[in-house]
């Protein structure tokens, strides 16, 4: 295995680098610490894929690492056979700098490998990617996002045919392929526009949005409740410059919410997240603009989603100010509501089951079991919850109604 100095020199000598990239690497020639941090090892490919800062180097997120990972991913899909290649992959991206570029690079690698690609025509929420994988019956999914991390980061999140992030065996197979193939030589690619023109890459958008929104709104238990408070309930919403900017307000409006107040400054798509230090809805300080707007319009509820719109933070009026509801608290409240509202509507299964991660509050288990709902824990991560739900479905034991973890994610 090459040391970081040898890796650095290898990159400097590569004809794959553009002049701008070569100049970036040349500019750090005298900085041993910086060279080591960029080249000491490859980014580790795990069940959540890759994540790193956007710089040139082996241990960074850049087009060369994207191509390398995607060729490895393509090899794993091809090993599944011709049908898996025809079913293909769905690709999504968020608002971050370079996200669309990385997504298009990945699409070109997949298409050149004979794998059919469906790629969104613009940024979309992460949950819609999982939906698209299942809706179109694709073999896999890919999302270019670093979720709620600082602006310097980007990521490469990978999904399998169930719409959940990769199970360990597939992640290990991709990591093995990455170790086998050369980052600069062992990949094939094509022109994006040509691949769109000949059908190898299929653009998806509005039609998928409509199917997704129909599915989301189909989860509503009692729309009459919304109608009864629609004229009174004022909701402030912020997407933190990210992928929830369009579909979250649209879903709320279609649900019947009439008093919705988006935060104007944060409805602007921007991968630099100029109005917040961290675009993480777990951090109350990021809601300062939303709180100001809520005070101005007299809102009772503030909702914020992270840049890829798979985490939600909530604040509620508390006297003269606003207080945050933690992920643990909101999960318990949602679980309690779902159980009781579905029981009242006559739609609660007799064998209802719910799931949480092992680091999430035990109060959820108490709420579930007190109401006669089966409850189980999994390791942290929705991929493990999805696996548990799939096991229930296959065995016919329990019918899943809700899953969540304390880090502000709900399913």
Q: CA 195, CA 153: separation in Å to the nearest integer?
A: 29
Give all strands (DSSP E) within 28-70, no chain letters: 50-53
Asked whether 166 and 49 are in contact (CB, 8 A), the reply is: yes
Q: Give the strands of the sheet with 352-357, arranged side by side.
A: 374-378, 352-357, 399-405, 409-410
The catalytic position among 99, 147, 309, 324 is: 147
Core vs surface per residue 279-316: b (16+ CB within 10 A) or e? bbbbeeebbebbbebbeeeebbbbbbbbbbbbbbbbbe
The distance from CA 282 to its chain's CA centroid, rounded to whole angstroms, is: 16
Has 37 been annotated as catalytic?
no
What three-state secondary structure class fits 242?
A: coil
What three-state secondary structure class fits 314?
A: strand
CA atoms within 13 A on the CB side of 34: 10
Q: CA 19, CA 15: separation in Å to the nearest integer?
A: 10
Nearest CA to 144 among 71, 91, 90, 212? 91
Query: For residue 97, how many other CB atoms are within 10 A of its CB?
Result: 15
- Report CA dihedral (260, 261, 266, 270) to the nearest 10 degrees: 40
Catalytic residues: 147
């Amino acid at each position: 295995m090459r040391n970081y100095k040898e890796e650095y020199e290898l990159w400097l000598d590569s004809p794959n680098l553009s002049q701008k990239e070569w100049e970036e690497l040349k500019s750090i020639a005298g900085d041993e610490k910086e060279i080591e941090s960029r080249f000491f090892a490859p980014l580790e490919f795990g069940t959540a894929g890759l994540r790193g800062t956007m710089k040139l180097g082996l241990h960074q997120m850049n087009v060369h690492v994207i191509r390398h990972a995607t060729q490895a991913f393509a090899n794993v899909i091809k090993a599944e056979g011709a049908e898996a290649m025809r079913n293909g992959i769905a690709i999504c991206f968020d608002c971050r700098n370079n996200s669309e570029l990385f997504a298009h690079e990945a699409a070109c690698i997949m298409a050149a490998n004979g794998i059919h690609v469906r790629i969104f025509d613009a940024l979309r929420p992460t949950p819609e990617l999982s939906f698209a994988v299942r809706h179109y019956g694709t073999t896999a999914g890919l999302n270019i996002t670093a979720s709620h991390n600082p602006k310097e980061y980007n990521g490469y999140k990978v999904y399998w045919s169930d719409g959940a992030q990769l199970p360990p065996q597939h992640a290990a197979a991709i990591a093995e392929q990455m170790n086998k193939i050369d980052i600069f030589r062992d990949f094939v690619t094509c022109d994006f526009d040509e691949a769109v023109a000949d059908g190898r890459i299929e653009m998806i958008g509005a039609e998928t949005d409509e199917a997704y929104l129909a599915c989301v709104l189909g989860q509503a238990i009692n729309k009459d409740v919304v109608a009864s408070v629609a004229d009174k309930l004022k909701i402030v919403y912020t997407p933190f410059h990210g992928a929830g900017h369009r579909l979250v307000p649209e879903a709320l409006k279609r649900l019947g919410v009439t008093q919705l107040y988006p935060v104007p400054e944060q409805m602007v798509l921007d991968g630099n997240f100029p109005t917040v230090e961290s675009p993480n809805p777990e951090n109350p300080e990021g809601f300062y603009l939303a709180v100001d707007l809520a005070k101005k319009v007299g809102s009772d509820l503030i909702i914020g989603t992270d840049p890829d719109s798979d985490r939600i933070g909530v604040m509620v009026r508390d006297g003269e100010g606003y207080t945050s509801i933690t992920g643990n608290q909101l999960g318990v409240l949602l679980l309690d509501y779902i159980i009781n509202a579905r029981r009242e509507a006559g739609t609660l299964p007799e064998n209802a089951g719910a799931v949480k991660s092992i680091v999430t509050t035990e109060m959820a288990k108490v709420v579930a079991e007190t109401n006669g709902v089966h409850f189980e824990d999994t390791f942290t991560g929705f991929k493990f919850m999805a696996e548990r739900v799939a096991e229930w479905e296959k065995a016919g034991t329990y019918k899943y109604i809700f899953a969540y973890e304390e880090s502000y994610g709900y399913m």
